[in-house]
């Protein structure tokens, strides 16, 4: 019985963390004229040669290419055109990671001989360490240089997943972020 309960507890934890959901949030300037936005360009983010290893891991040419390609596909499907000549809005993205700890106090357990023999006593505690990643997409009015829309996603990362799976997840996340652009209330 003790083995079965341990198995169920660990299975529940694995399902909870293994199928971690993505949290999406959005914000926008209610006074912005989103109907006037037709063309865009990406803002070039300067790299800092003295930046930390963490910063280098977060921003690299491969990730940059994947993010921009996915966002470009989503924006093209919405009718926006990429143009370096006098764009209506500018695109910028940010990435970041943070170490997190998930603690689950089960609050129960079994006595030394299992249920019915040893009685109940204080439960087990599971601790899971993981890395959480955030992707932010900003849309900036090209004329005023003011942020008019922001969408972002946060989720647990799996750096051991095959590149194909990570690429697929990145595309899904960008698709979901840009699904709220332009804002429904602004159409």
Residue whose entry in the numeric block shows the structure tokens 């095959």: 162
pTM, two decimals, is 0.72
| 65-84 per-position pLDDT tens digit | 999 999 999 999 999 999 99
Is pLDDT at 3 greater than 50 in this prediction?
no
Residue ranges of the alpha helices (H) in the chain? Answer: 2-18, 53-58, 61-77, 163-178
Question: Rounded to an integer, what distance in angstroms lies between the CA atom of residue 73 and that of residue 177?
Answer: 13
Q: Which helix (H) or strand (E) covers residue 90, if one does?
A: strand 89-105
> Domain ranges in the chain?
21-101+128-181
Fold classification of 21-101+128-181 (topology level):
Double Stranded RNA Binding Domain (3.30.160)
| 92-133 per-position pLDDT tens digit | 999 888 887 877 776 655 555 555 555 555 567 777 787 889
Residue 145 φ/ψ region, left for φ over 0, alpha for ψ in the -120 to 50 degree band, beta for the rest: left
């Amino acid at each position: 019985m003790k083995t079965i309960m341990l198995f169920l507890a660990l299975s529940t934890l694995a399902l909870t963390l293994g199928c971690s959901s993505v949290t999406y949030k959005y914000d926008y300037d209610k006074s912005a004229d989103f109907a006037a936005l037709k063309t865009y360009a990406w803002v070039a983010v300067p790299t800092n040669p003295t930046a930390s290893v963490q910063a280098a891991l977060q921003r690299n040419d491969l990730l940059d290419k994947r993010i921009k390609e996915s966002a470009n596909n989503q924006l093209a499907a919405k009718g926006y055109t990429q143009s370096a000549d006098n764009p209506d809005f500018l695109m910028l993205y940010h990435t970041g990671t943070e170490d997190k700890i998930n603690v689950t106090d089960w609050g129960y357990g079994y006595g030394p001989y299992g249920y019915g023999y040893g009685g109940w006593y204080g439960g087990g505690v599971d601790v899971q360490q993981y890395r959480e990643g955030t992707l932010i997409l900003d849309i900036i009015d090209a004329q005023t240089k003011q942020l008019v829309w922001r969408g972002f996603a946060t989720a647990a990362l799996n750096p051991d997943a095959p590149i194909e799976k990570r690429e697929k997840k990145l595309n899904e996340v960008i698709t979901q972020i840009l699904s709220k652009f332009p804002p429904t209330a602004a159409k």
